[in-house]
A = this chain, B = another copy of it.
């Protein structure tokens, strides 16, 4: 097992809860490293997601399928968790697919093992709470943006956010999809903005 990788994960988790060695040791046996090649899937629409990943290297995206089209709605970067978490929680088939945009390296553990940790340790349960709260905060922010802002305002907000990497590293038609508009429309917005 890659020690540096494990340390990186521990660091990310301690962002939510500081784990002592005993608590941390509970997770270790469940960790495994996984490589994904570009375009391989981490979660698949219609299948119940079982795994939670921690992205060591590469980017991923998740998308929904509608009318045969892939609607990209989120991006994952190094140092962050990757999962069709809602599918794990609900134990229902995932509505989204998570795909590697580049070759990726992850540390992976199973949601069912995380549930074991929740039972064993109050601290891990707290971690679960804080992660879910963090997720809710992010979703709330995204949602109010969608409800309150025009596509152009959403694009500006994205430009000004800490998610700039989304724009820099990611094909524009994925960004437009993220904003909930067509690539053509985003191109027009950019054109409009450039003229000001």
Which of B73, B95, B147 has a CB less than 8 Å from the CB of A71? B147
Total contacting residues, chain A, CB less than 8 A: 29
Q: Given known contacts A136-B86, A139-B136, is B128 in contact with A95 (CB within 8 Å)? A: no
A32 interface contact, C-beta 8 A? no
A133 touching B66, Cβ below 8 Å? no
A85→B132 CA distance, assembly (Å)? 13
* A146 at interface, CB cutoff 8 A: yes
Tell yes or no: A64 within 8 A of B by CB.
yes
Chain B residue nearest to A149 (CB atoms) is: B66
Taken together as a complex, chains A and B put the C-alpha atoms of A148 and B85 apart, in Å, by: 19
For the complex, what is the distance from the CA of A147 to the CA of B72, rounded to whole Å? 10
Interface residues, chain A, CB within 8 Å of chain B?
A: 64, 66, 71, 73, 85-86, 89-90, 95, 118, 122, 125-126, 128-129, 132-133, 135-137, 139-140, 142-144, 146-148, 180
